[in-house]
Amino acid sequence: MKKIIATLLIIAGVILTLTSFGLKMYSKSKEKALMNHLTNELKLENKKETPKKMDMKDNNENEIINLHGAMAIIEIPSIGLKSVIVEGIEMEKLRYYIGHFKETALPGQLGNFCIAGHSSSMYSEILNNLHKVKIGDEIKIKTIKEEFNYTIKEKFVVDPTKVSVLNQDKTKKTMTIVTCTDNGKNRLIVKGEINKNDK
pLDDT tens string 68-117: 678 899 999 999 999 999 999 998 888 888 999 999 999 999 999 999 99
Active site residues: 118, 180
Check residue 151 and give its pLDDT. 98
Strands (E), 77-186: 81-87, 98-100, 111-116, 138-142, 147-158, 173-180
Of the pLDDT bands very low, low, confident and very high (cuts 50, 70, 90), residue 13 is very low
Of the candidates 80, 77, 81, the residue with the CA atom closest to the CA atom of residue 98: 81
54-57 contact pairs (CB < 8 A, 24+): 54/145, 54/146, 56/106, 56/107, 56/108, 56/109, 56/145, 56/146, 56/148, 57/109, 57/110
Strands (E), the chain: 70-76, 81-87, 98-100, 111-116, 138-142, 147-158, 173-180, 187-194
Residues 139 and 41: their CA atoms lie apart, in Å, by 21
- pLDDT classification of 64: cutoffs 50, 70, 90: low
Q: Which domains does the chain carry?
A: 2-198 (2.40.260.10)
